[in-house]
Structure 1
């Protein structure tokens, strides 16, 4: 059903926009994100080429020119600046800001003008009359006065989508920070394994020299020499594998940090406990529920579906709009002055039957609301499990650090005693080799316990997500 009310007059009458367009006052411009400057200094040559479409074609363009040691703080700063997943999330946020501005444009009227200049005559073969030139121009103004909630639904849905993308940037930042931190610890462990295995090779070489000297002196056996040679070969193989894992860990961290194509990195921080967790598991769970952006995202998704349901049902309500038009006509050399006119009218539309399409779209949105609520509950349970899991790992790894420290001291003392016994002729080469292997394992266990504790702490901090500290 359509209805219209039209007023026509011969002159233009101004209209008070403040009266006809009260919704303009509700237009809101979203705030710009603040740029947080960092005090961590990072060498410029670690940053990648600013051109994201760079495509190296020569081996020298990707050849590693040197290895640069960096701290964990520098690694996190590089991840914040350069990680491409985070850059994509920020670009998606900017896209949502533009989408919100597009939806807010419905709060304003649309204004357009058009004109034409026409020369007309009787043709090239008939010169009985002169040609004439005329100018015709018009301006149109349209504004939706009432949309049954469709306009506000679209704006609020865009605002919620902007909120979703803001939370996505926050979630991506936390995830990338966690990935950079754990990969830095992985590289620390790889570096330590190389150091430990190099020391094991040096110990095996020293034992082999001692065994060969004893054989030459007639107090040792060929069997002891073969044992020492096998032990050295095993240690060299473990060192080769450790160096390979070190290279892999370096390139994995370099990929996360989006480093320059020609540099490699190593860890500059010593292996030590990253800190202590003072909260109880119950306090940690509650804080995680309050702070995790994933839960807020699910609520925002639920609100988007609610606004989409509102938009769908608005198609069944009345739609009222204001239309204004001003025309100007001037025919040159006709002795008549310029003529003009205007029209202002209200137009209304009400859909009486649409085959159930609007209510079907509303039903889809209600289903999406139920899905978002179910995903919220699932995410909440997962967050609790994450906190409990990493809290338990944190406690067990802290105990392992203490145990492994004691075991390391005992392994060093046992190796010294085994060597003294062997040199005194009351011990065997097998005891020395076994003590060397025990020392290698004890050093590796201590490094693993410390870094596993640091990983659990980083995961627990990510799970709890204290926004006040960022």
Structure 2
């Protein structure tokens, strides 16, 4: 919708005094033509979607939701654990009831193990569905945050445009007061005016200059606030595009139906209601059995720090074995029994055995000896756990009822907000037509008052009053024009999606 605020007031100014008004009109239009950096409403909304910090925080929730879904899916995969450790043991025996145990050689050891566990239950299945519903609710929350940011940017954009329109109005009224001051001085020179009229005109002109200054400052401040809502630093020299899209014709039943289907806040509550229902089912699954599967394997290796001690022990062991063999065979020989005394002479600690011991110690720490692996399965059926299952079920039921009540409350809120915004939009559109009629009447009255003052039919007080009536009427018209856009933005915000 084109907002012709500037053209109404300029037409009045040109009708008053073309020679005096032209410089002021050019000055009022200078900001729009001196800078080529024009920020449209569509551009502002695009920048806000990329840069608004509040919206960025809402989007970050998507990562948490995705991580929760992955964790819920992981409940159907086995958990795998591995470990690797090392240790040192001093070469000293441990005594128990007077008996010595353990090696007297310092020892290094390493061990490794791997295990897998899988637990399956109906509760895990429902937990996964609940988390998926929460993820969809998070997406709806992000959409709701986008709608809120969009509504804030649109309202601030309209506020900035209205402030600029009011600034243009004050510029034009300053042209009018300047022309009235010149006319009062001219009448005083020809003897048809008074010094009091001149002074009143000077006061009116000074007050209008103050109003112009404040209006310009307000317009600049509102543009800065607009950049704050967008989420970026202000860009000097930026002008706003007053050409806003037209408001489409809408029917209340279709808008209400669209809101019930598309409102993101309502959608998020529906998803959380589904999540609460799944959590209740998960709590009830505590009465059903669960299946557990486990598997594991481990291995170890060790090394004695003093290899010579091992060799000496092995050599002594071989010598002791040889001596024992000889004694046994000699006894058999004396008893004239069959014996193998010659074989005892072959028992000896060989260099090859010594090298084997040294090689075995050199393979530490990765030459593992595997322990037997294990696989097990278990079926667990809880019978009684101190009423904790019943407590969890009751809590889940309360959460489900609360979620249902929240959804119902939001449905009523959406219906009320959409209906109120729709009625407000119709009222604002009718108000614009009435205010435009008021402006035309006030402009005609001001033009007539200027002509009557020019010929001396009225005094300056009546002319100032007519100018004030026009200023109020034009200000109200500007407000009504932007109220239409605000009402439409409020309707879009209530629906939860753009309507054009």
Q: Structure 2 length as normaliser, TM-score?
A: 0.73
**Over the residues paired in the alignment, what is the CA RMSD in angstroms?**
2.9
* Residue 383 (1) aligns with residue 414 (2): yes
1:139 aligned residue: 114
Match of 1:187 in 2: 160
Q: SS of the residue aligned with 2:372?
A: strand
| d(CA) in 2 for partners of 1:151, 1:349 | 15
1:91–1:466 CA distance, 2 compared to 1 (3 A): closer
Q: Which residue does the alignment assign to 1:14? A: none
What displacement does 1:359 show? 1.7
Alignment equivalent of 1:166, drawn from 132, 139, 157:
139
Correspondence for 1:438 among 457, 466, 469: 469
Q: Does 1:351 align with 2:382?
A: yes
Asked if structure 2 preserves the Cα contact closer than 8 Å seen for 1:251 and 1:264, the reply is: no
Contact (CA 8 Å) 1:70, 1:268: kept in 2 or not?
yes
Deviation at 1:371, TM superposition (A): 1.5
* 1:52-451 mapped onto 2 (5 Å cutoff): 69-118=38-87, 120=89, 122-123=91-92, 130-131=105-106, 134-144=109-119, 146-147=120-121, 149-260=122-233, 263-264=235-236, 266-270=238-242, 274-330=245-301, 333=357, 338-451=369-482
Please state how far the C-alpha of 1:361 moved relative to its aligned partner.
Answer: 2.2
> Which deviates further from its counterpart, 398-407 or 195-204?
398-407
Question: What SS does the corresponding residue of 1:277 show, helix, strand or coil?
Answer: coil
Preserved contact between residue 383 and residue 463 of structure 1 (Cα < 8 Å)? yes
Residue ranges of structure 1 left out of the alignment (5+ in a row): 1-65
Paired positions, count? 399
Give the conservation status (yes or no) of the 8 Å contact 1:250–1:265.
Answer: no
Structure possessing the higher radius of gyration over alpha carbons: 2
Taking structure 1 as the reference length, the TM-score comes to 0.77
Which secondary structure state, in structure 2, belongs to the residue aligned with residue 393 of structure 1?
Answer: helix
Q: Which has the higher helix share?
A: 2
Q: Deviations over 1:302-335 (max 9, x none)?
A: 1222222233333443332001112334556489
Q: Kindly tell me: are residues 416 and 322 of structure 1, through their superposed partners in 2, closer, same or farther at Cα, counting changes over 3 Å? A: same
Aligned to 2:464, the other structure's residue is in SS state helix
Deviating more after overlay: 128-137 vs 180-189: 128-137
Question: Counterparts of 2:467 and 2:499 in 1: how far apart (Å)?
Answer: 49
Q: Which sections of structure 2, spanning at least 5 residues, go unmatched?
A: 1-34, 94-102, 304-356, 362-366
Deviates more, 1:458-467 or 1:217-226: 458-467
Say whether the 8 Å CA contact 1:322–1:346 is kept in structure 2.
yes
Query: Partner of 1:243: helix, strand, or coil?
Result: helix
Aligned partners of 1:330 and 1:339 also within 8 Å: no
Pick closer, same or farther for the CA change 1:233–1:365 going to 2, 3 Å: farther
